[in-house]
Amino acid sequence: MGLRHFIRVLDLKKEEVEGLIDRAMEFKRTHNFRGLLSGKILALIFEKASTRTRVSFESAMLRMGGHTLFLSGRDLQLARGEPIKDTARVLSRYVDVVVLRTYSHSTITEFAVYSSVPVINGLSDRFHPCQALSDLMTVLERGKDPFKEKVVWIGDGNNVAQSWIEVSALLGFPLVICCPPGFEPERELLEEVRSKHGAKIEIVHDPGEAVEDAGVINTDVWVSMGQEEETQRRREAFRGFTVTAELLKRAKPDAIVLHCLPAHRGEEITEEVLEGPQSVVWDQSENKMWLHMALLEFLLKGE
């Protein structure tokens, strides 16, 4: 396997996604991972805050015997105008793999063009591919078959939703995206996945109808990082899109609720649902670490 990056879900083949999830589950079950990435160095370049993605990647690498370097975007010469292409060429002489969390998606794609080591998207304004894979792992772990259950996204059609769209396109199960008008996923992405993959993505605007008989419900914040000045406008636009206990009654009684976190209780989800028996958010967070172990192994060792 030559140099591979993981910038969007569609960088992988269906069998590779299935293989990564199997491997992540194996790591979780057996804890048999010691020394697998001995001596390897992971650099994390983050322009935005992170709890889960940062710590789960660092912990994954350390548990497998590797090392990590956390580099806040602010502290690199990048912040003083050094070009991305120079940073990429220099850093890839020092480290074995890089995780980037950026505002602009093009920062990651440009970095990858010049990097001689694998580049992983740790969240950009377009995608959060690692999140979607660990979400999928959580869905499968809970015994939910996305081909048999109605899978619904409620909320903003941005980065996490767009990676879910790619998972749905790649694996071939239908996905309902329920968002307020004006907050749909990118038109070009929908066209791409529909024409190239025959993706079955339905865009709707009524949360009640969307969750009717759903088995898997996923949501995310109304105001993503970098959109803080739109907070008021978004809170108004998303009114009625909160995942409440009342809304959940319309789903299947054993439906599961996912949220990538951090959550804003009382906005996209209520405290009652987040802390309730149908919420799987803590396993979902944990699974990021197992999935990242499998992903690092895959990119570094071609396995």
| Interface residues toward ligand NVA, by CB under 6 A | 123, 158-160, 220-221, 224-225, 260
**How far is it, in rounded angstroms, from Cα 62 to Cα 41?**
10
Residues with Cβ < 8 Å from 53, sequence gap 6 or more?
Answer: 99, 101, 122, 123, 130, 131, 288
Nearer to ligand CP, 208 or 262 (CB): 262
252 is an interface residue for ligand CP by CB under 6 A:
no
Minimum distance, C-beta of residue 116 to ligand NVA, in the bound complex (Å): 28
User: Toward ligand NVA, which CB reaches closer, 109 or 159?
Assistant: 159
∠ CA 196-298-218, rounded to 5°: 55
Q: Which is nearer to ligand NVA, 92 or 163 (CB)?
A: 163
Pairwise CA distance, residues 100 & 92, whole Å: 13
Residue 261 as a binder of ligand CP (CB under 6 A): the answer is yes
Q: Which is nearer to ligand CP, 92 or 284 (CB)?
A: 284
Is the separation of the CB atoms in 143 and 176 below 8 Å? no
Nearer to ligand CP, 77 or 231 (CB): 231
Tokens for 46?
Answer: 């983050």
Which residue's beta carbon is nearest to the bound ligand CP? 53
Dist. CA 280–CA 269, nearest whole Å: 13
State which of positions 31-50 bind ligand CP (CB under 6 A). Answer: 50
Q: What is the dihedral of CA 34, 36, 40, 46, to 10 degrees?
A: -70
Taking CB under 6 A as the binding criterion, the range among 1-9, 52-60, 106-114, 232-240 that sits at the site for ligand CP is 52-60
Q: Which is nearer to ligand CP, 179 or 281 (CB)?
A: 281
Q: Give the integer Cα–Cα distance in Å for 296 and 7.
A: 13
From candidates 260, 263, 281, 291, binder to ligand CP by CB under 6 A: 260
3-state class (DSSP) for residue 154: strand
- Tell me how far, at minimum, the Cβ of 225 lies from ligand NVA, in Å: 4
**86: how many CB neighbours lie within 10 A of its CB?**
12
Can you tell me which of 10, 53, 139, 218 binds ligand CP, judged by CB under 6 A?
Answer: 53
The verdict on whether omega for the bond into residue 174 sits within 30 degrees of 0, i.e. cis, is no
The site partner of 25 among ligand NVA, ligand CP, none (C-beta below 5 to 8 Å per kind) is none
Strand partners, 272: none
Asked if 123 touches ligand CP (CB under 6 A), the answer is: yes
Among positions 121, 131, 159, 287, the unique one binding ligand CP when judged by CB under 6 A? 131
When CB distances are held under 5 to 8 angstroms depending on the partner's kind, the choice from ligand CP, ligand NVA, none that residue 51 binds is ligand CP
Shortest distance, position 160 Cβ to ligand NVA, whole Å:
5
Q: Is 13 exposed, middle or buried (0-12, 13-18, 19+ CB in 10 A)?
A: exposed
Contact footprint for ligand CP (CB under 6 A): 50-54, 123, 131, 260-261
